[in-house]
Amino acid sequence: MHKLAATYLQNRLLVICGILIGLFALSFSLEWLFVPAKILVGVLFSFLVIDFVLLFMRREGIRARRLMGEKLSNGDENQVTVEVHNAYPFYVTVEILDEAPEQFQARHLRLFGKIAPEKSIAPFYKLRPTKRGIYTFGALNVLVTSPIGLLARRYRFEEGRTVPVYPSFLQMRKYELMVISDRLQEAGLKRLRRIGQNMEFEQIREYVTGDDYRSLNWKATARRNQLMINQFQDERSQHVYNVIDKGRAMKMPFEGLTLLDYAINAALVMANVSLLKGDKAGLVTFNQRMGTVLPAERKQAQMQKIVEALYSQKTSYKEPDYDLLFATLLQKIKQRSLLIIYTNFETQLSLKRQLPGLKNLSKRHLVVVIIFKNTELYSLLHMHPRSLEDVYLKTTAEKFMYEKDLIVRQLAQNGIHAILTEPTHLTVNTVNKYLELKARHLI
């Protein structure tokens, strides 16, 4: 990007020099143009000198900086604001060329503006990272021209700034606000009717019109000589574990993000929602060997531990070891817990190999298996075949989609909950399932 800014200035100087040389050459070939050409060259040279003095009269005529968070949110549109202040005593026109991290391949990121004396502007642009890790910004180039507009001066700021890209904390905050304000339906979450009575006793209080008379406490009523009622609350302190498969199946990309990153973003939201609902959140990751095993807790620092653990997760091209996972979970997690397993079974054969372990887990825990729809097949499913090859492709796509449905049915037949979801709807569907299980008092 800095080469682009330098080339822009060089081209501008070459154009001006070309005009001067052309005028001199023309004046020598046409004698009657000699005097006007000299006058014109003199005027142009005078303007160049004045423009040079105006632009370089101050050491720092322009100040600029990037306004952005200390970290970027993976998979989300992150706003980057460029604040530019004009310290010149006249109007200037600026062209901002920001050198975004190479991961974005944004080679023509330009912003324009006109700034009054001692005033500032704050244009912005947005970046959507698709990988976690460290991103390094290049220089913030600001090309300044005076009202004369013959020359441009380049300023460089904030070169080499590094910013980490974390799992989608913007999505987490959105759901957090909705949980606090009880507006989860706005995110597409279902309003669920509670089944039965909450079983955790909270307190005895005075009866208020509209309370369920079946909860009347007759002993307390007799003692106080007024109607008293038992108040219950949601059962709390249940253990909720997000179990993430980091094997090769999770390397599959959708809209720039891998399935692993979708799972990580959803796990971050789920952990935060479960903590806000009074439960304990834990984390387990695995591939060919066990990765992170973070016990479920409700401590204040638990969310930060989960964020840092998710930030460092990486997938691999190796086959995950489910036997090791099942043995570890049976050994490490003693209390009955909700296990949300983010994985992907493409065929019934792949499920058959892991089904015995899942059945063993479901005997001691409430297991929810999340598998992904292959949205890349949608175009094949809806196409109108024009050849034998098209018929074959469409039939194969239908077979794969039907097999996913059979996998869900097979899991249900063995008492294991399953979610078949598109990657982009993963978070909503996972939170919906969690709230449904709580409403049915299964956890």
Q: What is the pLDDT of residue 21?
A: 57
User: What is the rounded end-to-end Cα distance, in angstroms, of the chain?
Assistant: 55
* Residue positions counted in the chain: 443
- Check residues 204 and 196 and name the one with the higher pLDDT: 204
pLDDT beyond 70 at 124 = yes
pLDDT beyond 50 at 195 = no
pLDDT beyond 90 at 340 = yes
Q: Kindly state the DSSP code that residue 29 receives in the 8-state scheme.
A: H
Q: What percent of the chain clears pLDDT 90, i.e. is strictly above it? A: 37
Least confident of 62-76, 180-194, 212-226, 361-375: 180-194
- pLDDT tens digits along 271-310: 999 998 889 999 999 988 899 999 999 888 999 999 999 9
Q: What is the pLDDT of residue 105?
A: 84
Q: What is the pLDDT of residue 198?
A: 47
Instruction: Look at residue 182 and give its three-state secondary structure.
Output: coil
Rounded CA-CA distance 132/340 in Å is: 22
- pLDDT tens digits along 246-273: 988 888 888 888 999 999 999 999 999 9
Q: What is the pLDDT of residue 136?
A: 93
Q: What is the pLDDT of residue 27?
A: 52
Residue 239, H or E segment: strand 239-245
pLDDT beyond 90 at 57 = no
Q: Average of pLDDT values for 350-375?
A: 90
Strands 124-127 and 280-286: unpaired
Q: Average of pLDDT values for 237-249?
A: 90
- pLDDT tens digits along 2-28: 444 445 545 555 555 555 555 555 555
Q: What is the pLDDT of residue 163?
A: 94
Tokens at 133, concatenated: 């890790």
Q: Kindly state the DSSP code that residue 419 receives in the 8-state scheme.
A: E
AA identity, residue 166: Y
User: What are the C-alpha distances in Å from 147 to residues 90, 144, 188?
Assistant: 8, 10, 53
Residue with token string 């090859």: 389
Q: What is the pLDDT of residue 280?
A: 92
Name the pLDDT band for 232 (thresholds 50, 70, 90): low
Name the pLDDT band for 35 (thresholds 50, 70, 90): low
Domains of the chain (ranges plus CATH)?
2-166 (2.60.40.10), 169-191+236-439 (3.40.50.410), 200-233 (no CATH)
Paired with 335 in beta bridges are none
Rounded CA-CA distance 41/39 in Å is: 5
Residue with token string 């070309």: 18
Q: Average of pLDDT values for 352-367?
A: 90
Rounded CA-CA distance 85/104 in Å is: 27
Instruction: Look at residue 373 and give its three-state secondary structure.
Output: coil
- Check residues 13 and 135 and name the one with the higher pLDDT: 135
What is the average pLDDT value for the chain, to the nearest integer?
A: 83
- Check residues 374 and 411 and name the one with the higher pLDDT: 411
- pLDDT tens digits along 93-109: 999 999 999 988 877 78
- pLDDT tens digits along 82-97: 999 999 999 999 999 9
pLDDT beyond 60 at 216 = yes
pLDDT beyond 60 at 62 = yes
pLDDT beyond 50 at 154 = yes
Tokens at 106, concatenated: 């944004």
Determine contact, residues 338/243, Cβ cutoff 8 Å. no
Q: Average of pLDDT values for 301-329?
A: 88
Q: Average of pLDDT values for 231-256?
A: 82
Instruction: Look at residue 391 and give its three-state secondary structure.
Output: helix
